[in-house]
Amino acid sequence: MKFSEMIYTRPDPEAVKATLAGLTERLKAARNYQEAREIFLSQQAESRHIQTAATLASVRHSIDTRDAYYDAEEKFWNNFFPELQAVQQEWTKAMLASPFRKEFSQEYGEILFTNAEMELKTFSPAIIPQLQKENELTQAYEKVLATAQIPFEGGVYTLSQLSPFKTDPDDARRLAAWKAEGQWYKDNQAELDRLYDELVKLRDEMGRKLGYEGYTTLGYYRMGRNCYTKDDVEKFRAAVVKYLVPVADSIYRRQAERLGKTYPMSFADNALEFRSGNPRPVGTPDEILAQGMKFYSELSPETEEFFRTMLDGELLDVLSTEGKRSGGYCTGIPDYEVPFIFANFNGTQHDVEVVTHEAGHAFECWLNRKRIPLECIWPSMEACEVHSMSMEFFAWPWAEGFFGPDTRKFLYSHLASALTFIPYGTMVDHFQHEVYAHPEMTPAERHGVWKRLLGVYMPWMRLDGEIPFYSEGEGWQRQHHIYSSPFYYIDYCLAQTVSLEFWAMIQKDLKDAWRHYMAYTEQGGSRTFTELLANAGLESPFDEATLRGVCEKAKAWLDAYDLTGIQ
């Protein structure tokens, strides 16, 4: 079925709650495992219906945030989900107390209960009003960004549409684009400050109501972190500063030499990797998707069937249009057993990364589409990002079909960007830990923290105030996750480390690397992150030697890479 043919109907909140409450009581009264299992499967079916409806509303709202109908539906779900959590919590308690827990674990895995115990730590009916308000504020933030109209060179652009100008080879034009975007953020900064200030204080309040020191502990539970701690993350951050920041620094120094610029460079100059321009994909959006079909058809029988399903079902919405939410994501539509990819093509190499990165998520979802319980279709977030970031590297043998004459540029750029991203992503995480440890900070103090951390994690950025917003050390406000998904960013850094393991494997033997990838991906969410890695023969990013090793291999490849003839 095509996405446009999928029918959305708003559920009756009281009927849904009554159904789930009834299933909970039946589970408590179950006389044997067979009976309990049938009730569990009924609950799973109901959950799939609810998630399908919510996802359809959310995706269609993302596609056009100006659509009054789906804007109202998004607000409905923002209010209904917290109320639903109260009913779902009673179900979770009944599952944990079930005399048939052993049988459930044997059939569906112990992680069902590991995650259930964590889920109980994230909710109480007492925080329903705060959860509803949190949803309202994050929706307001996304709408501010989605409705951006930025004047530039006589035209008006959305944030996504302006992006190609920010990597233009012409120095003056590129700088002007950065200034135009930065000025838009400055013009809207009071609202962005207000929204985030309210969110921080609201989340701190929720954490304290649940008995925590503030938000951080609650934030980790909400992220489903079931196999590592804040201490583990701090050690990883320290390893990034020790091993990766120097490598990234060398990459930018080499870039400054290519561009004929003085190091450290401005944000605008750091965005230009080659004097002749950054790698650009060849072809129209349709041709990029067609090359994606060629890649997946030749990679494996499973990926061929998957991507054909995506194209035939019109399960990719990739054009950048007015009113469309910025950014990109992948989600699942359980009743139809398909994933959906949302993106904003803008003529940059990002367009190809949508076909690889987001489709990496989608492939995992498709491969595990029939998995029970529903919650185990996807693993935890950092584990999910391994699927996507690694899939980007599996596309390397097909890069020429995506980039044509810019293929050599792309290969260098892609690996270099994977390395330079990790310090940025780690800084995002460090920033959030500082913010939630000190919720009383003023907006100005938060900007000060970000500016200080830029000096630690990204010393190649010149902070001279030339570009509004960015070079004033305030660029964190463009990062959706900081507003919408607190503590969801170190996940990318952990996953990027693992993806670099895959990159190294691919250089030796593509087929062997794919076997490891499938061994990892086929597990879905049936294990914790570290268990998924171990089962697939992969090293943990929490082992300092892992990060040191991938840095050494990738740096050696970049240092030896022949850039002759590339300006």
184-213 tens-digit pLDDT? 999 999 999 999 999 999 999 999 999 999
Residue 142 has, within 13 A of its CA and on its CB side, a CA count of 24
| Coil, strand or helix at 338 | strand
For residue 341, what is the enclosing H or E element? strand 338-345
pTM, to two decimals:
0.95
| pLDDT interval class at 532 (50, 70, 90) | very high
Q: Report the pLDDT averaged over residues 136-159.
A: 96
Q: What token pair was written down for 527? A: 């294990």
C-alpha 418/C-alpha 430 separation (Å) is 19
Closest CA to 73 of 127, 13, 116, 31: 13
**Parallel, antiparallel, or unpaired for β 150-152 and 155-157?**
antiparallel
300-316 tens-digit pLDDT? 999 999 999 999 999 99
Q: Please report, to the nearest 10 degrees, the dihedral formed by the alpha carbons of residues 29, 373, 327, 475 taken in order.
A: 70
The residue written with tokens 């944000």 in the block is 267
The letter for the amino acid at 122 is: T
| pLDDT interval class at 373 (50, 70, 90) | very high
C-alpha 48/C-alpha 358 separation (Å) is 22
C-alpha 82/C-alpha 133 separation (Å) is 10
75-102 tens-digit pLDDT? 999 999 999 999 999 999 999 999 999 9
| pLDDT interval class at 567 (50, 70, 90) | confident
Residue 233 has, within 13 A of its CA and on its CB side, a CA count of 26
- Residue 348 is predicted with a pLDDT of 86
Flag the least confident range among 400-404, 409-413, 562-566. Answer: 562-566
